[in-house]
Amino acid sequence: MSGDATWRIFTDVGAAKRSILKRHSLRDTDVPEALIERSVSIFGERIMPEEAVRRIIRGVRERGDGAISEWNRKIDNISPDRLEVSPDEMNEALRAIAPELRSALTQAAERIRSFHEKQPIGSWIDAGEEGSLGQLIRPVDSVGVYVPGGTAPLPSSLLMSVIPAQVAGVPEIVVCTPPGSGAGDIHPAILAAAAIAGVEKLYRIGGAQAIAAMAYGSETVPRVATIVGAGNLFVTLAKQQVYGDVGIDGLLGPTETLVIADEGADPRLAAADLLAQAEHDELASAILLTPSLALAKAVRKEISKQVAALERQDIVFGAMRNRSGAVVTADLDEAFELANDYAAEHLCLLVDDPWSWIGKVRNAGGVFLGEHSYEVLGDYVAGPSHVMPTGGTARFASPLNLLHFVKVTSLIALDKSSALALGRSAENLAKAEGLTAHAAAAKLRREMDAP
């Protein structure tokens, strides 16, 4: 199979909207039959992933560490001697990794921290003639970070999630990530990243059981207030089911990149950017929007050429076949309208003078302007967190940032005269709503404070 045989080019925008530009709800996810069959060996019966996650969460809530170890063994085939990773293990991994990797992780950590330190999140109090009103901005007490460790170890995800929480002032940060199967351990790069970030609590737990452990706590794992980080279908379903008992950053699905390119774009660079996302997941989306059919064909040819040198070809071909392709638009204006409707996680602008088009962008997790601001830099070292909204949620959600780790408390401190002036309006509104105790409380204050 060749890359250009699976990456489709749509010249009919309507057909593209019904195909690669059509959004898929988490509730409508097609579950592979093999996944359902595997539930028999784990649970003794055929069940859907939602029910499997529900049972995992219930087990962890009721039996703590015992259930965590059981699910680790049954689902992920891991049986670590200890769930918790010691600081010595993290520091040893940092010393052992290649110097160039250590340097890259350190640089990424420094840039992520520097970027997020620029975000304003301070409290404010307006002390005026009528007293004071304001907002108290406080960090949440604790955060749980999930770091994927499945088909590819992602030390960058640890840095991109832990460091913004630290900058926001969160006092307790808990990290969970799955080790390798059997007697394998957490990938050294993830351990090294934890050491660089100064992680104090790291646990060998994967999947839905990790989310449950952080949401409800166990003998070993502390309960947290908010959980962040991407994962597989079971992790996402677990976050969905524990939401309300804890906060979450969002329901993060397969990665997606949408490239808008004009006829002057370099097809080699467009193809490279699309392939970089396609290698993540067979359900990843790698989409090109362009008014140039010639460019679309050139990009398809480049994809076929470049994919031959990639290690994860099976995954790439799956992504190219499932949710990827090119759409030939009438002009760039139509391309940007389609992009706003799609609301991509990553929006890459390979167009002449990309700054002149930024006003057209309404919905995107991150915007990458020009050939030198390619998306892979955002994945690792640019500075903003690469944890971004997927599945069209960029219509209302934001990339991971300090606001995910703080909460707002309203401050009301009115003086006597202001309370008197406002009391009658409060009383009348309470009466209109049929809340007589509210009205009585306002009336009593008003009568007591009247001159």
Residue 345 is a catalytic residue: yes
| Nearest in space to 190 (alpha carbons), one of 94, 272, 323 | 94
- Quick one: 207 and 338 in the same domain? no
Residue in 282, 302, 345, 427 annotated catalytic: 345
Per-residue pLDDT of the chain (451 residues; tens, 9 = 90+): 444 457 999 999 999 999 999 997 777 767 777 778 888 888 888 888 999 999 999 999 999 999 999 999 998 888 888 999 999 999 999 999 999 999 999 999 999 999 999 999 999 999 988 899 999 999 999 999 999 986 678 999 999 999 999 999 999 999 999 987 544 689 999 999 999 999 999 999 999 999 999 999 999 999 999 999 999 889 999 999 999 999 999 999 889 999 999 999 999 999 999 999 999 888 899 999 999 999 999 999 999 999 999 999 999 999 999 899 999 999 999 999 999 999 999 999 999 999 999 999 999 999 999 999 999 999 999 999 999 999 999 999 999 999 999 999 999 999 999 999 999 999 999 999 999 999 999 999 988 877 7
Q: Of the candidates 213, 234, 250, which is a domain's last residue?
A: 250
Full strand arrangement of the beta sheet holding 8-10: 8-10, 325-328, 285-290, 256-261, 346-350, 366-369
In a domain, 344, yes or no: yes
- Quick one: 235 and 224 in the same domain? yes
- Quick one: 207 and 231 in the same domain? yes
Q: Of the candidates 250, 279, 307, which is a domain's last residue?
A: 250
- Please tell me the distance from the alpha carbon of residue 131 to that of residue 19, in angstroms, as a whole number: 58
In a domain, 111, yes or no: yes
Residue 62 is a catalytic residue: no
Domain containing residue 349: CATH number: 3.40.50.1980
- Quick one: 222 and 283 in the same domain? no
pLDDT at 3: 45
DSSP letter at 433 equals: T
- Please tell me the distance from the alpha carbon of residue 430 to that of residue 394, in angstroms, as a whole number: 38
In a domain, 54, yes or no: no
- Quick one: 385 and 424 in the same domain? no
pLDDT at 181: 55
- Quick one: 242 and 373 in the same domain? no
- Please tell me the distance from the alpha carbon of residue 231 to that of residue 235, in angstroms, as a whole number: 5
Q: Of the candidates 199, 226, 250, which is a domain's last residue?
A: 250
| Nearest in space to 363 (alpha carbons), one of 381, 385, 336 | 336
* Burial (Cβ within 10 Å: 0-12, 13-18, ≥19) of residue 372: exposed
- Quick one: 272 and 386 in the same domain? yes
- Quick one: 307 and 175 in the same domain? no
- Total domains present in the chain: 3
Q: How far is CA 270 from CA 262, 351, 358, 376, in A?
A: 11, 11, 19, 12
In a domain, 40, yes or no: no
| Nearest in space to 239 (alpha carbons), one of 53, 24, 1, 42 | 53
**Which residues are paired to 350 by β-bridges?**
261
The enclosing H or E element of 440 equals: helix 436-449
- Structural domain harbouring 232: 84-250
- Quick one: 223 and 132 in the same domain? yes
What six digits make up the tokens of 213?
Answer: 């452990």
- Quick one: 241 and 110 in the same domain? yes
Residue in 346, 386, 404, 427 annotated catalytic: 346
In a domain, 246, yes or no: yes
In a domain, 359, yes or no: yes
Query: Parallel, antiparallel, or unpaired: how do β-strands 131-139 and 406-414 relate?
Result: antiparallel
Full strand arrangement of the beta sheet holding 172-177: 84-85, 201-204, 172-177, 142-146, 226-228, 247-248
- Quick one: 104 and 230 in the same domain? yes
pLDDT at 1: 41
Cβ-contact 272, 259 below 8 angstroms: no
- Amino acid letter, residue 9: I
pLDDT at 403: 97
In a domain, 58, yes or no: no
- Quick one: 139 and 263 in the same domain? no
In a domain, 232, yes or no: yes
